[in-house]
Amino acid sequence: MTSRMATPRTTGRWGRLTVGWVLLALGLAALVLPGPGLLMIAAGMAILSQQYLWARRRLAPIRARAMQAAAASVRSWASISISVLIALAGVALGVVWAVQPAVPGWWPFAERWWLPGGWGFGSSMIGSGCIALGLIAFSYWRFRIRESRNDDPVRTPPDRADAVPAPAAGSSARDLRQEETR
């Protein structure tokens, strides 16, 4: 007797597909609305690439370029500092946007044009800044800390065949290097 109930495996698959498509749709919407559109598109494609070959093929060059950009962004302390300051400025701007302070006297336009969007735009800016800080931390860990640990690889013993001297030219001595590799 077979059961028509969904197994945890198919439920998880449908859940991942739903999350992937929702992130892809929200990312496309965030391209014209405030928010991290490209990041949501990449996240949606990463989730969909687990199920669809077309998504995996389109994600591969994006991932390679993203890793190159991440490595370049943490090469110097100046670029790390500037990136962190920009991300913190985005968070601060989001907080100001969400709080909605009174319109200053120097504002030349109508009052309705002062910080439009309110809490929705402000929270999006705060979220984008936090995501940027997280990506900077990941890039720093991945390309500065982790790779500095890999600079000292474990020494492997030299190949014994390379240590045996080659026979002199014109000698009748057998080549020991060839015998050892057999």
pLDDT tens, residue by residue, 112-141 = 888 887 888 888 889 889 988 998 999 999
Q: What is the mean pLDDT of residues 61-85?
A: 89
Q: What is the mean pLDDT of residues 152-175?
A: 50
Average pLDDT score over the chain? 79
Q: What is the pLDDT of residue 4?
A: 62
Kindly report, residue by residue over 3-34, the tens digit of the pLDDT: 566 676 778 888 889 999 999 999 898 888 77
Q: What is the pLDDT of residue 182?
A: 47
Q: How far is CA 25 from the centre of its chain?
A: 19
Higher pLDDT, 85 or 66: 85
Q: What is the pLDDT of residue 147?
A: 76
- Please answer whether residues 180 and 159 qualify as being in contact, where contact means their C-beta atoms are separated by less than 8 angstroms: no
For residue 152, pLDDT over 70 is answered with: no
Question: Angle of helix 53-73 relative to helix 118-140, nearest 10 degrees?
Answer: 80
Q: What is the CA radius of gyration of the chain?
A: 28
Q: What is the pLDDT of residue 175?
A: 47
